[in-house]
């Protein structure tokens, strides 16, 4: 009975293929260039963990580094039986792109052809018939070499707007080559000019004329419509959508993988092969390699999207999850948090205390709430990690003393010399000293601590995973600096601590001592 219902639901729910272009179009983001081993790590996670249907991993004839990266990815994909999922952008350049792609070990080329009359006549300086003949020659040669072809109609959106007859002429010429010559026709909004109503209109025209063709849609986000246009394409019959992790891409970027996935599932009842609880992991990996930070309010993957701040929200959640929707954090391998500030109220504080296992009387909770409100007025960010320290500071009892205390430290910086740090800490009642040089003042401080933990305690020190420095919103040039440090423990768990001070190094040191106390208490 249940199996029958599942099969019925699958027949009613359309399947949408997801092609990720982070390693090709995403790398066209200004300032982004992935090293070959970084491309391999991203490709592995996309194929193995997220189960993306296809990945576009580079462009033919770009560089020796590009060749090395594509070779590495193809070797890995062949080992796991996913080589046909790896695609490389190629050009209408006779045999050159095909030979490059074959040498790299790939078996699928995404051929870039001109999808508008002005691109054909003004950029190529060719008549349509000449361009069509050149495309056919590349397709024929690729087939003879065992290379499958998908075809981009570059500037298709302008083509449908200004020269639809050219688009149909191109499609007629290429579909006449026979079934299987071109596997997919990929329709890009190259300049990001379309709105959802235009996407629906143009897709329906294409499908009416070519009902048996597999069409992909490739959105750009210049008008902040990439996700909406992608949904419109799926609603209109697109069988594949192109995305990038974190919405990377040229100019304003492409459609973000995470947003497209959840909208397809929740608003279109579509099926994909994406493993949703890995979306946050791939976003953080690409954020690290690309150097492009994820906005805190970015849907699904931003730091703040599962964080309630208003006290009335925490109160409502305690009384029946009144402020929840289908975007549950556990679905994406995350958890809901209740941030603390001047608007949080006792319900928010109580929720965080409960999660930490801290039991306070109503009077004590009120005192802690008052302190957090005061910190919020000063624009300080209060997290659950900070709460035990605030409780300790406010109540001065009922909370275990810090096991790690910074007794003293000195950092020095001189022109032409590496920064030096001398550190004295108290751990479990005993004092230890260490000194070291480093690439910066904070680096020297951390290396001195590592020496103490290794030499005197024979213990490992968590690895620094990420380091971010910001000025609290509304701050001035002399405002407090907030340092947020993410650490990875030996067991793989992540810890995130914050420090706030007028001095950046001091703020980072505060965050480090917080982390060490968390480790000791756990």
Q: How many CB atoms lie within 10 A of CB 402?
A: 18
| Tokens coding 501 | 């001070």
Burial category of 11 from C-beta neighbours within 10 Å (exposed 0-12, middle 13-18, buried 19 and up): exposed
φ, ψ (nearest 5 deg) of residue 178: 110, 155
Element (H, E) at 103: helix 96-104
Of 49, 54, 140, the closest CA to residue 89 belongs to: 54
DSSP 8-state class, residue 271? B
DSSP-assigned letters across all residues of 318-366: HTT-TT--S--GGGGT---EE-BSTT-HHHHHHHHHHHHT----HHHHH
DSSP 8-state class, residue 161? H
Residue labelled with tokens 């695609």: 87
* Residue 24 falls in the annotated catalytic set: yes
Of 275, 276, 263, 193, the closest CA to residue 235 belongs to: 263
515 in Cβ contact with 485 (< 8 Å): yes
Burial category of 144 from C-beta neighbours within 10 Å (exposed 0-12, middle 13-18, buried 19 and up): exposed
How distant, in Å, are the alpha carbons of 40, 383, 487 from that of 522? 35, 18, 15
Of 516, 349, 361, the closest CA to residue 425 belongs to: 516
Torsional class of 4: left (φ above 0), alpha (ψ -120 to 50), beta (otherwise): alpha
Torsional class of 33: left (φ above 0), alpha (ψ -120 to 50), beta (otherwise): beta
DSSP-assigned letters across all residues of 202-263: HHHHHHHH-TTS-EEEE-B-TTS-HHHHHHHHHHTT-SEEEEBGGG--STT-B-BHHHHHHH
**Rounded Cα distance, 41 and 289, in Å:** 10
Of 397, 395, 354, 348, the closest CA to residue 373 belongs to: 348
Q: Is the dihedral of CA 409, 517, 351, 280 positive or negative?
A: positive
14 in Cβ contact with 49 (< 8 Å): no
Task: Assign 80 to helix, strand or coil.
Answer: coil
**Rounded Cα distance, 237 and 304, in Å:** 34
Length of the chain: 522
DSSP-assigned letters across all residues of 10-72: HHHSPB-EEEE-TTTTGGGSTT----HHHHHHHHHIIIIIS--SEEEEEETTS-HHHHHHHHH
Q: Which of 66, 154, 337, 506 is catalytic?
A: 154
Catalytic positions are 24, 154
């Amino acid at each position: 009975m249940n199996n029958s219902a599942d099969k019925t639901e699958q027949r009613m729910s359309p399947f949408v293929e997801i092609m990720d272009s982070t390693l090709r179009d995403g790398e066209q983001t200004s300032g982004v260039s992935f090293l070959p081993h970084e491309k391999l790590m991203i490709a592995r996670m996309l194929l193995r963990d997220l189960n993306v249907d296809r990945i576009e991993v580079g462009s033919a004839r770009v560089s020796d580094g590009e060749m090395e990266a594509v070779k590495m990815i193809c070797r890995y994909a062949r080992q796991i039986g996913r080589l046909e999922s790896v695609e490389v952008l190629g050009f209408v350049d006779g045999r050159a792109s095909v030979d490059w792609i074959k040498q790299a070990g790939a078996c699928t080329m995404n051929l870039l052809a001109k999808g508008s009359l002005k691109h054909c006549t003004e950029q190529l300086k060719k008549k349509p018939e000449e361009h069509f003949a050149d495309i056919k020659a590349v397709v024929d040669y690729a087939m003879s070499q065992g290379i499958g072809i998908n075809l981009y109609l570059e500037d298709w959106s302008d083509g449908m707007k200004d020269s639809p007859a050219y688009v149909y002429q191109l499609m007629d010429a290429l579909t006449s080559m026979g079934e299987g010559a071109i596997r997919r026709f990929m329709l890009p909004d190259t300049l990001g000019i379309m709105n959802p109503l235009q996407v629906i209109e143009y897709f329906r025209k294409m499908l009416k004329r070519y009902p048996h063709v597999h069409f992909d849609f490739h959105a750009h986000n210049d008008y902040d419509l990439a996700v909406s246009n992608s949904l419109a394409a799926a609603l209109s019959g697109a069988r594949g959508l192109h995305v990038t992790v974190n919405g990377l891409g040229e100019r304003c970027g492409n459609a973000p993988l995470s947003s497209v996935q959840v909208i397809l599932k929740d608003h279109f009842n579509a099926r994909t092969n994406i493993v949703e609880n890995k979306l946050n992991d791939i976003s953080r990996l690409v954020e690290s390699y690309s150097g492009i930070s994820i906005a805190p309010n970015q849907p699904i993957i931003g730091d703040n999207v599962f964080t309630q701040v208003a006290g009335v929200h925490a109160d409502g959640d305690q009384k029946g999850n009144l402020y929840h929707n289908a975007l549950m954090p556990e679905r994406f391998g995350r958890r809901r948090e209740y941030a603390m500030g001047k608007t949080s109220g006792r319900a928010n504080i109580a929720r965080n205390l409960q999660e930490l296992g801290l039991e306070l009387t109503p009077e004590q909770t009120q005192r802690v709430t008052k302190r957090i409100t005061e910190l919020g007025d000063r624009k300080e960010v209060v997290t659950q990690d900070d709460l035990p320290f605030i409780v300790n500071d406010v109540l001065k009892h009922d909370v275990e003393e810090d096991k790690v205390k910074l007794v003293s430290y000195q950092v020095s910086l001189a022109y032409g010399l590496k920064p030096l740090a001398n550190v004295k800490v108290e751990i479990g009642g005993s004092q230890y000293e260490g000194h070291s040089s480093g690439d910066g003042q904070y680096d020297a401080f951390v290396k001195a601590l590592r020496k103490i933990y290794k030499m005197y305690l024979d213990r490992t020190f968590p690895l620094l995973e990420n380091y971010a420095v910001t000025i609290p919103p509304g701050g001035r040039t002399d405002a407090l600096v907030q340092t947020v440090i993410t650490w990875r423990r030996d067991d793989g768990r992540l810890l995130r601590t914050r420090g706030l001070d007028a001095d950046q190094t001091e703020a980072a040191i505060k965050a480090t001592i917080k982390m060490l106390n968390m480790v000791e208490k756990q």
